[in-house]
Structure 1
Amino acid sequence: MQTKEQKISPIKQRILQYAATLGISKRDFYTRIGVSRGTLESATGITEDIMAKFIATYPDVNPEWLLTGHGNMLKSVTVNPTATNTPIPEDNIDRPKARPLTTIWETTNVKPIPLVTETAAAGFGNGFLSIEEKDVKEYYVIPKFRYCNVDFMIEVSGLSMYPHFNPGDVIACTILKDRKFLQWNKCHVIATREQGILVKRLMPSAKDGYITVVSDNKEYPAFDVPFDEITGLALVVGSVGLE
């Protein structure tokens, strides 16, 4: 006869094994990674979304150990690429509040992609986007985006891009650092000073110093935006949505 622990998937068992080393209650642990008790203690399988939340909250965990049970529970060294090239001993790990988007889920080569608020996304025009945990709604692990250089994901609001995008669809974005990489008639995320975040197709404008933004929904007319109003541009490379 199987015990309750034996019925739980091996990955869930390893997550609970790690939780037992933290010296905190299970309730606090579940709150930190944003899941319910039943999510990890039930006999159902575990989703990529739950694994991404766990690994994003506790980046010192060795993904190979988590997935296969092989190797050490913790990574031997942790490097913060934006701060130092010096290895940090495990027992001195400080988990940063701001997590650079270049952090890689090393063993699988799949990067957890942050789904961010519009306020956070507006900062991509600054050239370096470092996102606070409070601005991250979810983390997505999407193998098909592995080679797409996705910097962040954001939810679509409104109906201006219907039927291509529905409200609530999640779009994956690659920040453009040079305007010469604009792709006409492709969907882009545009950060503007006055109108905030726009999701539109881009077309050349007849006016110098302007660009034309076009909606897929014909009830929304196209309009021109001056380049000096735009603080950031990102190409939409994919999307996630529900029927």
Structure 2
Amino acid sequence: MVSKRVGQYIEAKGISYYAFENSLGSSRGSISKAVKDGKSIGSNVLEKILSVYSDINPVWLLTGYGDMFAEPALTGNGAVKTYRLKTDTTVESQQIPLYDLEAVAGIVPIFSNDKAIQPVDHISIPHMPKCDGAVYVTGDSMYPILKSGDIVLYKEVNDIANNIFWGEMYLMSIAMNDEEYITVKYIHRADVPGYIRLVSENKKHQDKDVELSKIRALALVKASIRINAML
């Protein structure tokens, strides 16, 4: 429930409901009552919250996934977000290889541990969940969480049939008509046995059910990096 998470954020910030409501220009008691009664909060108020309180993670606020607070800036012109499971432990320091998907013709060769596949660079971010690699993403199916040109950092899934965390975000390779289709989607349970449902963040993209057996490679998305060019 979004209203519950708003209450958790207010408590974590140590501010009063009155001060919070006043900062948004909302009527007194409107948000405190919504939190107390578990009622919905209007989209215009949510937009105002995200505008005024820039340290809140919009993904967490709207879906409950990830951390409450947005990650600090990676550099002066970039930002990193993490998507942690409750069971994740962080690594103090790691060198995460960054691969060029066009150069290696997909993620299957990367996951095969082919020594001939060389990363184009390495990424080092302290106190991150353990990651196996990183790639650039294309397309807008996960917008606004991800946009074309962002980098996703991932942890490979070796036992695809048994190790899916339903509702989480995944990088995957799907066999379609003898070609490899690479995408980032949420994975949900499908109504038909043997299938999974691929769900986009961008509601312009329809959900799609695919056979689990057609997933050639799968990796849980652990973090994303967005570079904002400053001209």
Query: Could you say which TM-score interval applies, normalised by the shorter chain?
Result: 0.5 to 0.7
Mapped contact 1:214–1:222 kept (Cα < 8 A) = yes
Mapped contact 1:125–1:191 kept (Cα < 8 A) = no
Q: Does 1:192 align with 2:192?
A: no
5+ residue gaps in structure 2?
Answer: 1-74, 76-90
Q: CA deviation at 1:137?
A: 2.6
Aligned to 1:217: 202
Aligned to 2:140: 159
Higher relative CO (Cα under 8 Å, sequence separation at least 6) belongs to 2
Aligned to 1:122: 108
Paired residue type of 1:177: N
Structure label with greater radius of gyration = 1
Aligned to 1:28: none
Tell me how far apart the structure 1 counterparts of residues 154 and 174 of structure 2 sit (CA, whole Å): 16
Tell me how far apart the structure 2 counterparts of residues 225 and 182 of structure 1 sit (CA, whole Å): 15
Residue identity over aligned pairs, in percent, reads 26
State the TM-score, normalizing by the size of structure 2: 0.52
Q: Report 1:15-34 matches (<5 A).
A: none
Q: Does 1:237 align with 2:222?
A: yes
Tell me how far apart the structure 2 counterparts of residues 205 and 198 of structure 1 sit (CA, whole Å): 18
Q: Per the alignment, do residues 173 and 202 of structure 1 end up closer, same or farther by CA in structure 2, a change over 3 Å counting?
A: same
Tell me how far apart the structure 2 counterparts of residues 233 and 164 of structure 1 sit (CA, whole Å): 19
Q: CA deviation at 1:110?
A: 2.7
Tell me how far apart the structure 2 counterparts of residues 210 and 129 of structure 1 sit (CA, whole Å): 29
Q: Per the alignment, do residues 125 and 153 of structure 1 end up closer, same or farther by CA in structure 2, a change over 3 Å counting?
A: closer
Mapped contact 2:100–2:135 kept (Cα < 8 A) = yes
State the TM-score, normalizing by the size of structure 1: 0.50
Tell me how far apart the structure 1 counterparts of residues 106 and 122 of structure 2 sit (CA, whole Å): 14
Q: CA deviation at 1:129?
A: 5.2
Moved more, 176-185 or 117-126: 117-126
Tell me how far apart the structure 2 counterparts of residues 208 and 153 of structure 1 sit (CA, whole Å): 31
SS of equivalent to 1:123: helix
Tell me how far apart the structure 2 counterparts of residues 199 and 216 of structure 1 sit (CA, whole Å): 10
5+ residue gaps in structure 1?
Answer: 1-47, 49-107
Paired residue type of 2:165: Q
Q: CA deviation at 1:236?
A: 0.3
- More strand as a share of residues: 2
Aligned to 1:170: 151
RMSD: 2.4
Tell me how far apart the structure 1 counterparts of residues 109 and 122 of structure 2 sit (CA, whole Å): 18
Tell me how far apart the structure 2 counterparts of residues 230 and 137 of structure 1 sit (CA, whole Å): 26
Q: Report 1:62-73 matches (<5 A).
A: none
Q: How far does the alpha carbon of each residue in 1:128-165 deviate from its partner, in whole angstroms, 9 at most, with x for none?
A: 454522xx2321111122xx221110111011100110
